[in-house]
Amino acid sequence: MNKRSILALVCAIGAASGVSAQQAGSVAPAGQTTSTSQNDGSAREPLPPQTSKDFWDGDDPNLVNLVTHPFANKKYVQRMTRPIKDRLNELDEITTSNREAIRDVDSRAQHGLQLASEKTTLADQHASDASSKAQQAQTAATDSASKVSNAERMVGSLDQYKGTSQTEILFRPGQSVLSKQAKDALDAMAEPLKGQHSYIIEVRGYASGSGQAAIANSQKMADSVVRYLVLSHSIPVYRIYMLSMGNAPAPEGTAAKRTSGGRVEVNLLRNDAMTAQR
């Protein structure tokens, strides 16, 4: 036997001795009981037996009952604790399932937060790029507006060319070669134009005769003047406008007169408005 069994046996023996002594002290002699009953003159009902509600539950507290008591039975204990174990196992399963669900929800939440953060960063980058492009577009629009304004001023000033000087070159009949006097007159007009802008030179050729012959002669004389200005004074060709007038009369307001030979009018026109803008 182990210590627990020995201790239970000692307690059982002590309890049995106490109960026997109590029963012995409570029993009275037969003759005395009869005498008391006769003296009272009336019969009393016996006291009801006390229901034992102790550990033994009415059993005789001996070693056999101690060993065979239901509380000492392993199967009884297992049968009584099995529902508790089942419920504990069920609670463990529920806890495990809840833990997995919480872990899954947390993982999804973390993934969602990461995606949201990435999309927010990407949106911020797009917004920054859009803002930068908008600023560039605004700058380009401002520059374009300024250029358009300048172009409008320039276009508006194109028709503001005014004649500043006029030179007349005379030719002998049937000739288109420049004389010494004609070259000196062209030099005096072209020398101040070096490095200048906003000017044009109008060259008009006139010749005697009629029809296409007069136009051809006037063109030859005008070509001689243009060639000299371009080769001798580096006047850009795009600044020279040549007209073959043939035997057409001179424009009104000029002092030119008809001659038997040919002549070329060289007019210098300047745009003061364009010069002021530079």
pLDDT tens-place values along the chain, 278 residues long: 454 555 555 555 554 444 444 444 444 444 444 444 444 444 555 555 555 455 545 555 656 555 555 555 666 667 778 888 888 888 999 999 999 999 999 999 999 999 999 989 999 998 999 998 998 888 888 887 887 777 666 556 556 677 778 899 998 888 888 989 999 999 999 998 888 888 889 999 999 888 888 889 999 999 999 999 999 998 999 999 998 888 877 665 554 455 567 899 999 988 776 555 55
**Buried/exposed code over 254-275 (b: 16+ C-beta within 10 A; e: otherwise):** eeeeeeeebbbbbbbbbbebbe
Alpha carbon 158 to its chain centroid, in Å, reads 49
> What's the confidence (pLDDT) of residue 227?
94
pTM of the model: 0.43
The pLDDT, as a whole number, for residue 141 is 84
Output the pLDDT for position 246: 85
- Are 170 and 257 spatial neighbours (Cβ–Cβ below 8 Å)? no
User: Token match 């010749």: residue?
Assistant: 207
Which backbone phi and psi does 73 adopt, to 5 degrees? -85, 125
Does CATH place domain 161-277 in 3.30.1330.60? yes
The pLDDT of residue 223 is 94
pLDDT attached to residue 156: 60
Residue with tokens 């002998």: 172
For residues 163 and 264, is the Cβ–Cβ distance under 8 A?
A: no
Name the CA dihedral angle for 229, 231, 237, 243, rounded to a multiple of 10 degrees: 50
Find out whether 203 and 226 touch, Cβ atoms under 8 Å: yes
Residue 278's SS3 state is coil
DSSP structure class, residue 257: -
Question: What's the start-to-end Cα distance of the chain, in Å?
Answer: 127
Q: What is the largest CA-CA distance in the chain?
A: 199
